[in-house]
Amino acid sequence: MVKPVVVVGAGLAGLVCARKLHQLGVPVIVVDADDRPGGRLKTDREGGFLLDRGFQTLFTAYPSAKRELDMDALNLGKFEKGAHIFHGGNLSLLEPQTLMDMFRTKFELVRSKTIPLGDKRLLAKFSGSAGHMSVRQAYATDPMPTEDYLRGFGFGDEIMDRFFRPFLGGIFLDKSLTVDSRQFLFVWAMLNQGQTAIPANGIQAIADQITADIPRYLFRFGNKVDQIVRDSHGHPTGIRFDTSETIDANSVVIATEAEEASRLAGQPTAEGHKSSTCLYFETATPVVDGAYLLLNGSGKGIVNHVAPVSNASPTYAPSGKHLASVTVLGNPEQSDQELAEIAKQELNEWVPSKGAYMWRFIRGYRIGFAQMAQPVGFIERLPGNATSHTGLYLAGEFTQNSSIDGAIRSGLEAAALVTSEQGAAEAA
């Protein structure tokens, strides 16, 4: 009997890897400690609301996602390009514009003092160049902290503190702007070249779509892998669950989160991680008109940004109701209920006409490992899909970059490496 490739972890990278191996006719089994596939791409249903485990979006311009996902079948709801910024006790709308648009609307822009006119024009110029970079061009630039890159372009304190810190803080879960500038440029290009979207059935629909192409009998849920079984040379021969049960394997792909992958593989993976806390509220009316994010440009309070989720995709809330997602960076010491009360107090100042005090807190999520840290030079320190032992591979965003695109690409590359080395072994 031919031994299978065992994929440990049914997150996005593991699912993509397993699907590709199955499509190529390679025997494969997927094991996961959870009760269902998806990894961090999970959606819970509560009282007719769809609650993603943390506010997550799909950038439609992601090249790997466009190749591997049926975007139309996901029935994507789109967020608007632009954001409302809270500063000085008011919300101001900042929308992407071309330089020509800037000159046409000069007087309207002057009235809004949240972002200086010069910085708005500079933002239009910046998006006109960096926003059109290819993936290769973005990663070919010289690495530096994102803040240094932006200041080198000429941006001042106002737009840095009121827009870039909360906006990029929401993407990278870090307002310090110390993320590698190459990763920032990649994300900025994706934002400009496509749309920010959520599937009609929740973020888990992405994982479900891939899972549907893999026969159910190839999955094994509910058991944690305790260790990789190895021969005297360190090459994998199977896996052992925490129940002591074993499964023999031809090869093993470790597709867990970075910390667990490091433990199982016995080698370093990612160099730290970022955490976030997501609070969901039922609101009587939409937080704002249109599917715009609301950013905290005040530099005060716990709320980083608010997403009117059901404005982008009405399927996230029952008919006649509305859903808002509030993101707090990190993992605060207060309880979810305490955070919810603080958030409502703050948001009553942001949108005083929306009765934030009356919003119903539905549920909170603490995402301890929301994404890996991406400091300057992280790309050169990525572990890659191969390990020091033939037959043992890694798959996960921690081999690429912290994004849906990175996870998909890693899964594909892991599958390619497995089949390549198996082919070489058979030829020998």
The pLDDT tens digits of the residues spanning 322-359 come to 999 999 999 999 999 999 999 999 999 999 999 999 99
Give this prediction's pTM.
0.94
For tokens 């921690």, the residue is 398
Q: According to DSSP H, which parts of 295-382 are helical?
A: 309-312, 336-350
Domains defined for the chain, CATH in brackets: 5-41+204-271+378-427 (3.50.50.60), 43-81+195-202+273-372 (3.90.660.20), 100-189 (no CATH)
Q: What's the pLDDT score for residue 421?
A: 83
Rounded to whole angstroms, how far apart are CA atoms 65 and 60? Answer: 7
Q: What's the pLDDT score for residue 109?
A: 39
Q: What's the pLDDT score for residue 299?
A: 95
Q: Give me the long-range contacts of 215-220 (CB less than 8 A, separation at least 24).
A: 215/22, 218/18, 218/22, 218/28, 218/29, 218/30, 219/10, 219/29, 219/30, 219/31, 219/32, 219/37, 220/29, 220/30, 220/31, 220/32, 220/247
The token pair that represents 199 in the structure block = 């599937």
Q: What's the pLDDT score for residue 101?
A: 52
Q: What's the pLDDT score for residue 425?
A: 61
**Position 110: which residue type?**
V
pLDDT beneath 50, residues of the chain = 98-100, 102-111, 428
Measure CA 197 to chain center. Answer: 12
Rounded to whole angstroms, how far apart are CA atoms 2 and 248? Answer: 10
- Give the list of residues 6+ apart from residue 414 with CB closer than 8 angstroms, or none: 13, 17, 253, 255, 385, 393, 394, 395, 399
Q: What's the pLDDT score for residue 107?
A: 36
- Give the list of residues 6+ apart from residue 129 with CB closer than 8 angstroms, or none: none
Q: What's the pLDDT score for residue 105?
A: 43
What DSSP state is assigned to residue 179? B
Q: What's the pLDDT score for residue 106?
A: 39
Q: What's the pLDDT score for residue 98?
A: 47
